[in-house]
Structure 1
Amino acid sequence: MLRKFLGVAMISAAILVSACNTVEGAGEDVQSVGETVSDAAD
């Protein structure tokens, strides 16, 4: 039972960490596009 719980906990932690990195990367992409549009407007 404990072994199964630890396995699920480790998989959940890995998914959460990768999701955070994905969201952070998407945020950087959106910021980059915004800066490019802002520079083009100037």
Structure 2
Amino acid sequence: MRKIFILVAAAAALTTAACNTIAGVGRDTQAAGSAVEEAADDAAN
């Protein structure tokens, strides 16, 4: 359990560092949501 927590914390730190700003995090989250939505639409059709 501790290893998983450390991996998640490291991934979050890298992701946050890559974005540089809160606005960047929002754009990245929105882009990921759009990709999931498009994949769901493609699977439905």
Structure 2 length normalisation: TM-score?
0.55
Q: Quick check: which one's helix share is greater? A: 1
Structure 1 stretches of 4+ moved >2 Å: none
> Which consecutive residues of structure 2, in runs of 5 or more, have no partner in the other structure?
1-19
Q: RCO higher in 1 or 2 (8 Å CA, sep ≥ 6)? A: 2
Structure 1 length normalisation: TM-score?
0.59
Q: Percent identity?
A: 19
Higher Rg of the two aligned structures:
1
Candidates 22, 27, 31, aligned match of 1:24: 27
> Which consecutive residues of structure 1, in runs of 5 or more, have no partner in the other structure?
1-16
